[in-house]
Structure 1
Amino acid sequence: MKTAMDLVAAAKAQVAEISVAQAEAAIRDADVLLDVREADEFAAGHIPGAVHASRGLLEFKLSGSPQLASRDLSFVIYCKTSGRAALAAAAMREMGYLKVQSIAGGFDAWAAAGKPVHKPELPAFE
């Protein structure tokens, strides 16, 4: 019986993972920067320019968004530490997306490296 970590390891074996150092250039060259974390994680802070589609709804969001229909689009995806992103990238490859890269270490590695993080401002109730 496979564990979640077995599935992540299998996904990482078939998906292109890039380092945080390579990520900035890859993001500039990508058509879509995709955050597959949960909505509350995204709201707490995300890589600037990222589009949110939680891992659990990813296939449905991709299928239901005409602007994401082209299988030639270039994607950079990330999650918290890279497990969900690897699973998402593997699923996207199965759907026929040809250019999908995942950030090794995910958002945590990005933030730890001092890279920019967008944190939406909440309204002040004064």
Structure 2
Amino acid sequence: MSKEPEHPLGIDELLERVREGLERIGPREAFAATADGALLVDIRYAALRDRDGLIPGALVVERNELEWRLDPQGSHRAPEATSHDLHVVIICNEGYASSLAAASLKQLGLHRATDLVGGFQAWRSAGLPVQAPAA
């Protein structure tokens, strides 16, 4: 039987700890990383993608499918999930859920997984390419 921790982590503390293990990058760094083969992965839910648009070239993966789609050894992996050495940049709406998702991918052995500081909103604010939502 496992013993419960004396002081359970709150989400803010968990997020802080998770981010200590990530080399988070900003929008312009993420954009430049794609030229070197980085894979941008958009985990925003459909309503946000429909409202705000998409990052051209980003792989869209629902958060609840992320680990299955990006595990290079998984039977349900995306074609882009070719190696544990893949540089993956997770993008959520504002850069919170993406940190937790990137940490989860690191646990699967994707040692170069990280996330975008400020998420999609920071990308758009930086004036980087966004594909308009479908009408």
Higher helix share: 1
Q: Percent identity?
A: 33
Pairing partner for 2:54 from 33, 46, 53: 46
Secondary structure, counterpart of 2:24 in structure 1: strand
- TM-score scaled to structure 2, two decimals? 0.79
Distance in 2 separating the partners of 1:76 and 1:19: 10
Between the two proteins, the alignment pairs up a number of residues equal to 122
Residue 70 (structure 1) aligns with = 83
Report the more deviating stretch, 55-64 or 5-14. Answer: 55-64
Query: Hey, what does 1:3 align to over in structure 2?
Result: 10
Q: Which residue of 2 aligns with 1:15?
A: 22
1:87 is paired with a residue whose SS is helix
Per-residue Cα deviation, 1:86-125 (whole angstroms, up to 9, x for no partner): 1111000000002223111111111112211112433xxx
Q: Quick one: distance in 2 between partners of 1:93 and 1:13?
A: 13
Distance 1:3 1:60 in 2: 27
Which structure would you say has the larger Rg? Answer: 2
**Contact conserved, 1:30 with 1:75, CA < 8 A, in 2?**
no
3-state DSSP class of the match of 1:18?
coil
1:103 aligns with 2:116: yes
Aligned equivalents of 1:71, 1:52: Cα separation in 2: 19
Deviations 1:67-100 (A, max 9, x none): 2152121212211111111111100000000222
Is residue 60 of structure 1 aligned with residue 72 of structure 2?
A: no
Looking at structure 1, the residues matched to 64 and 26 of structure 2 have their Cα atoms a distance apart, in angstroms, of 25
| Aligned counterparts of 1:69 and 1:113: Cα–Cα separation in 2 | 30
1:32 paired residue number? 39
Higher mean alpha-carbon deviation, 40-49 vs 94-103, is at 40-49
Q: TM-score, normalised by structure 1?
A: 0.84
State the superposition RMSD in angstroms: 1.7
What's the offset of the Cα at 1:31?
Answer: 4.0
